[in-house]
A = this chain, B = another copy of it.
Amino acid sequence: MTLPRKDLFDLPEGVIYLDGNSLGPLPKGAAARAAEVIGREWGQELIRAWNTADWITLPARVGDRIAGLIGAPTGSVATGDTLSIKVYQALAAALKMRPDRRVILSDSGNFPTDLYMAQGLIGTIDKGYTLRTPAPQDVAEAITEEVAVVMLTHVDYRSGRLHDMKAITEKAHSVGAVMIWDLAHSAGAVPLDLAGSQAEFAVGCTYKYFNGGPGAPAFIYARPDIVETVEPALAGWMGHNAPFAMEPGYRPAMSTERLRVGTPPIVQLSILDAALDVWEGVDMDALRAASIALCETFIAEVESRCPTLTLASPRNAAERGSQVSFAFDHGYEAMQALIERGVIGDFRAPDIMRFGFTPLYIDTADVVAAAAILEDVIEGDLWRDPKYQTKSKVT
């Protein structure tokens, strides 16, 4: 199997898509699968499809496929809900494991919703918990014996900075803290050895590098040796040991299934299932090597063409995920100008132009072409056109 595999995706003509780290493109099999699920399974089988189309085991089957891509064992990943919900579940469960401690440690570069969910949980429990968010580079030394839980996003959404999963997890465990990794920007982007890290929990989303479509379901991992002690905060019927017994009392499933909550989003889970087909036969180390090559080429091209821009990602590839960011005071306008010219990246406040590199459907020629168009926009001052000043609803 060689990369890229552009033939597996429906990519629009004339577009270089460097935003698969925000929303992956459409895998060809996904549309057909959706039509099948909607037209035949739902339309013709109706309620029977829970059995006849095996909807009932779909969340677990998709979880197992994700497990295989993040270095986790079969049966250790549950799917459904959104990443925000999965963060809440992991954090609430982790706090229960360290009832005598009151500090949640994250970092200032974490994606806002992770911090917000922690804040919401702290307010709900209302027992004096504190959320600490040092700068990413200061996290390791902030892991002290006061800390109940270390909750970090592995790859920084703005800069692409990569935490050392194994070293930080070891540090957390050395002081008795529980470790939660958010893999939003690393699942499908970098090789992961979740089981080897010994982290208790991990969460992630599937609409980025897994190409599951807009609003695709999230996932959660719990380390198999602790899962039976996890107390689910979101004790939904699909996490019950016998959901269809309709018992009045909650009894959690004896597996990661206890981290499921409500009725699964069958259509979006099916699309995700089909989308995961593009990973068949992909070697994650080869993917990583290709990703690094694309990122290095982009950095070199942009730095030689656009002296106005400042690299906002680690220069060392080993400290970077599969994205490259440049800072530019007029980044918002410049990104609009770039998108209009067929190079799609995105902007993250206050000044970050962000580009994702996904070797499944991006090659070196794309990267060089994108850099040349970026040069026109930045050094040719195309971003100054007044039409790029108007903010859209989503930036």
Contact = CB atoms under 8 A, between A and B. Distances in A.
Contacts of A57: 393
A231 interface: yes
A263 B83 contact: yes
A234 B117 contact: yes
Contacts of A240: 112, 116
Contacts of A121: 124, 233
A92 B124 contact: yes
Interface string A48-80: 111100011100000000000000000000001
Copies of this protein in the complex: 2
A57 B392 CA distance: 12
A307 to B, nearest CB: 27
A317 B271 CA distance: 42
Interface residues of A, number: 96
Interface in A338-353: 339, 344, 346, 348-349
A271 B263 contact: no
B265 A215 contact: yes
A130 interface: no
Interface stretch (A24-32, A142-150, A219-227, A366-374): A24-32
Nearest to A250: B116
A214 B267 contact: yes
Interface of A: 10, 12, 15, 17, 19, 22-23, 25-26, 30-31, 34-35, 38-39, 42-51, 55-57, 80-85, 88, 92, 108, 111-113, 115-117, 119-121, 123-127, 133, 205, 207, 213-218, 231-238, 240, 243-250, 261-269, 271, 339, 344, 346, 348-349, 392-395
6 contacts: A51-B393, A82-B236, A113-B237, A116-B236, A124-B124, A213-B267
